[in-house]
Structure 1
C-alpha cells in the first residue's frame, strides 16, 4: 500500500493534475449518464401507468356474461350416436 502512495507523490505535479482531471471527468460523466437514465426510467414508469389505464378501460368494454353451470350438459358419448351406428365400446381417459 505504501508503494502506491510513494508512486503518487513521486510523480510530477502535472501528471497528478492530469490524473485528477481524468478521474473527475469520469465521475461527471457517470453522474450525467445516471441522471439521464433516471429520466428514462421515470418516462417508462409513466408509460406503463398509461398502458395499465388503457387495459383497464378495455377490460370494462368486454361483455361479461356470467357462466352458468346449470345450462351446460354433462358429456355423454351417446350424444354422438348416428343413425345406423352403434357404440361398441368407450374407454374414458380419466
Structure 2
C-alpha cells in the first residue's frame, strides 16, 4: 500500500534542510533500492525555496510508513514542524499501469 508522507518544515529551518540534504538523499536512494520509494520532492514557498517534503512510500501498513518517516535524516535533524502520514491511491499516470 502507498503512503504519502506530508512534511512541513519549521519556519526558518532552510539551513538545516541544506546541511542535511546529502544524508536525506542517501536515505531516499536506500528506500529506492529496496523498492520502498514511489517518488519524492520538496514543497516550495512563494520564493521558490523548499519548505517541506512529499515522499510517497510503499509500506505494509501505517505503522511501517511512520517508521520510515521517523528514519528520514531530515526528521532526525529536527527539520520538520509536522509530518502527516496518509494512505494514498495512485490512480492516474501510475508507471506500472
Q: Which has the higher contact order (CA 8 A, sep 6+)?
A: 2
TM-score normalised by length of structure 1: 0.23
Give the alignment's TM-score, normalised by structure 2. Answer: 0.23
User: Comparing both structures, which one devotes a greater share of its residues to strand?
Assistant: 2
Higher normalized helix content (fraction of residues): 1
